[in-house]
Structure 1
Amino acid sequence: MNLGAFSISLNVKDIHKSKDFYENLGFQTFGGEISQKWLIMKNGSTVIGLFQGMFEKNLMTFNPGWDENAENLESFTDVRTLQKQLKENGVKILSQADESTEGPASFTIEDPDGNPILVDQHR
């Protein structure tokens, strides 16, 4: 099962302070909009998202259809197919993608320790 590009999405208190901190660690802004209180930052192949006021907890994020540079992959497993496979494997889906649609969609699960995992397809 290929879930797509991986990143960690961090719930931050102050987007500006967090941006400065991660820049000091060698990260550069890769996407997002600081005025909307979210940024995607990259250091080599490591990708983090900074989100102020959007999530309760930090979460792992997978993006089907993208590589680590947010470039479209030629082929990928659709988020709805991934969701169906996980359901069949007994994984509880917390928020579901609408299986009657196509294109962008997402679902959320938790690991056994309560760590949230977002599978978020943008295309």
Structure 2
Amino acid sequence: MKEAKQQFNVYLAPDTIKQMKHRAIDEQLSLSDLVEKIFTAYLAENAEEDGTQAPAVAAQQKEKLNLQPLIHVNDMGKALDFYSKLGATILHGSRDGDWALLRLGSTELGLLAHPANPEQNEGRVELNFEYSASLEELEKKLRAAGVTIARPTGDEGFGYQLQLEDPDGMLVKINQLDPELYN
């Protein structure tokens, strides 16, 4: 059953309201859902800092798995131009680099200027996830659950990566990114 909602009136500067409305559109959320998302994240962050958050909630938030598809591109500059026209903003990387991370609405999209490796079941589009907790612990949990590990957790140039194989043989990569290594 969906939780009942209540009205909550606040007074903000007109420019802030305009920016929030644009952000809601960019993230494909209603304004109410965006504000709730922001408030919830703020409360969770502060509750974790002052110790008032339940340990199970804190653990669940730390073990966050975000979808991050990756596209192998031939020309990074042309690809960035194309996705920028769709409204993407560059979070990391550049026209001259071999990797870029974009935000398009509420989605992150990776671009890699290297051909896919068919020997590792890589396609032009890869299914990647970013994981915010320990990949080694996740790997143990997945092994115990019978998931096929294509390549164990290993140190990469951007952080750590665990590679899985889905039941149809598709490669699924889970990354633990280290911003200091790619900024």
* TM above 0.5: yes
Distance 2:112 2:67 in 1: 16
Q: Which amino acid aligns with 2:147?
A: V
Change (3 A) 1:3 1:92: farther
Structure 2 distance, partners of 1:36, 1:19, is 11
Structure 1 stretches of 4+ moved >4 Å: none
- The answer for the alignment partner of 1:4 in structure 2 is 65
Aligned to 1:46: 107
The alignment yields a C-alpha RMSD, in angstroms, of 2.0
Aligned to 2:163: 108
User: How much identity, in percent, do the aligned residues show?
Assistant: 26
Which of 61, 66, 87 lines up with 1:26 in the alignment?
A: 87
Runs (5+) with no aligned partner, structure 2: 1-59, 118-122, 179-183
Amino acid at match of 2:83: Y
Structure 1 SS opposite 2:150: coil
Shift of the alpha carbon at 1:54? 5.8
Higher normalized strand content (fraction of residues): 1
Measure, in 2, the Cα distance between the counterparts of 1:43 and 1:8: 12
Q: CA deviation at 1:114?
A: 3.1
Deviations 1:63-116 (A, max 9, x none): 222xxxxxxxxxxx3111111111111111111115xxxxx4211112223332
Return the alpha-carbon distance in structure 1 between the equivalents of residues 145 and 98 of structure 2.
Answer: 36
Per-residue CA deviation, residues 15-51 of structure 1 (Å, 9 max, x unaligned), is: 1111111111111111123322211111221110010
Q: For the Cα contact (< 8 Å) 1:8–1:49, is it kept in 2? A: yes
Q: Which has the higher contact order (CA 8 A, sep 6+)?
A: 1
Q: In structure 2, what is the equivalent of residue 62 of structure 1?
A: 129
TM-score, with length taken from structure 1: 0.75
1:55 Cα offset (Å) = 3.7
Q: Unaligned regions of 5+ residues in structure 1, if any?
A: 66-76, 99-103
Match of 2:142 among 80, 86, 94: 86
Aligned length: 107
